[in-house]
Amino acid sequence: MFSKYKRPTIITATLFILGITAFLLAHTVFADVQNGLERQLRKLVGVARLAQMYYVEDIEWDDAMEGAISGMLEKLDPHSVYIPAEKVSANKENFSGKYEGIGIQYDIIDGYITVISPIPGSPSERLGIMSGDRIIKIDGKSAVGIERDEVPKKLKGPKGTSVKVAIQREGAKALLEFTIIRDVIPISTITASFMADDSTGYIAVNRFAAITSKEVEEKLQALEKNGLKRLILDLRGNSGGYLHEAVKLAGKFIKGHKLIVYTRGRSERIDDEYYADQFGRRLVRNYPLILLINRGSASAAEIVAGAIQDYDRGLIVGENSFGKGLVQKEFPLQDGSAVRITTAKYYTPSGRCIQRDYKGKNVKGYYDDIPDSTWITEDSLSHRPQYYTEKGRTVYGGGGIQPDFYVAYHNASKSPELINSMLTNRAFFEYVTEYVRRRRINYKDVDAFSRRFTVDDTMMADFRRVCAERKVDLKEEEFTRDQEYIRLRIKAEIARHLWGQNAYYFVMLEGDNQFRKALTLFGEARKLAALH
């Protein structure tokens, strides 16, 4: 039996031995990792030397090494990427400045310029260019296999100049031809902001840039002066951006010192927590809140939706979000390029990581597997981890943000090739310009216009005439099938011509079934948030 006087000495010695063992083990593991890395780097250098000595042609080593870096990062996850020097500055423009061009967010996927999303208010959006479109030709020359640094050289340019693109779209039998007139691309992150009725405010946020929380605050104050008593915050198609801007936005609706999001990485130095009041705020709103999301809502947009849902502060309506729960940090390189490396995963207040599975998938496969209605079936949900909101409602991780009310979007065009032909040939623009010039439209505002104006059969006949003059391939069956959408689009374009961008979206929401459903749910939102 050990003496009680000897026990502290034995414990101290034991702890010392354990400490030395842990240090030696850690050093050994680190040495193994380091040796493995050095072994692979030696292999890469060996292959490069063989290519230098024996390859049949001269090698462009800048391109080769950039390809090697991109390939390595792609093997890690879909969001760790190499960024060439010229795109580094382009990214800064997208989130803090302005430029002149056609207005798309894009990536090079399998050698194709792939539209991630058109920038709201840009020439591309006005012409109807859509997410997922592939640019096959630029000014008549093939763009397949184009180098990343060549894209802005061909698509950007002074305001008023034009560029012709041929686009491959899923479901379209032939390439879609567009002539795009370049313009100053708006830097605002607010697509639209207005009073949808005498008490309902509507704000659509298209991305989270350095000015987003400031812009939203300005819009909220303006709408509150006009009678806002409840709010629809539209984050559909919002692909994300700055995390701290998402925290600031969520903090406008969540009271107290509450956790909005936290990050966890391999190193504790990466771990961080973000709170609702962390960045200061003017005030916290307490009116009923509904968020609209869809498959294009990602990253920072999901942080906002996740916090609102976890604290039962508002209702989430629409379709499953994208499912990006990885946090990237950008590291500059000596030549002005950069790498964006995933350093952590982020978690909603309830503990959810909403990142979709990406193991064993290439980039294309990952983006093709965006959540849809199959992700909310009982069988699908049974395989996903469960968490609970502040009031005990069940929510799920591993697959984006699941809306509280799933509403599939039903109001898109039923004949996309026909509508694209109309847009490409500027049929809507020409008809509306002619109509407004010939007619006197007496409405005091867009609300009165929306309620009382009708696109009648005479207008449709005139529009068909313009389509014929503009060489639109007008198929009777397609035109009949899409009449409802065409009438709404003509009406919205007239509103845009008379009152601007907000008026266009005000009218288009007439046919938006997700928005219409949201208007019926404010009683549920008020009850959920325990508002009086």
Catalytic sites, residue numbers: 299, 310, 324
Q: How far is CA 53 from CA 8, 45, 60, in A?
A: 66, 12, 14
Task: Determine phi and psi for 282, rounding to 5 degrees.
Answer: -70, -50
Token pair of 129 as six digits: 């260019």
CB 294 within 8 A of CB 304: no
Scored b (16 or more CB within 10 A) or e, 191-219 reads: bbbbbbeeebbbbbbbbbbbbbbebbbeb
CB 331 within 8 A of CB 341: yes
Task: Determine phi and psi for 436, rounding to 5 degrees.
Answer: -65, -35
DSSP string, 318-358: ES------EEEEEEE-TTS-EEEEEEEEEE-TTS---PPP-
CB 154 within 8 A of CB 163: yes
Which residue type is seen at 483? Q
Q: How far is CA 497 from CA 205, 426, 461, in A?
A: 22, 14, 21
Token pair of 296 as six digits: 């294009």
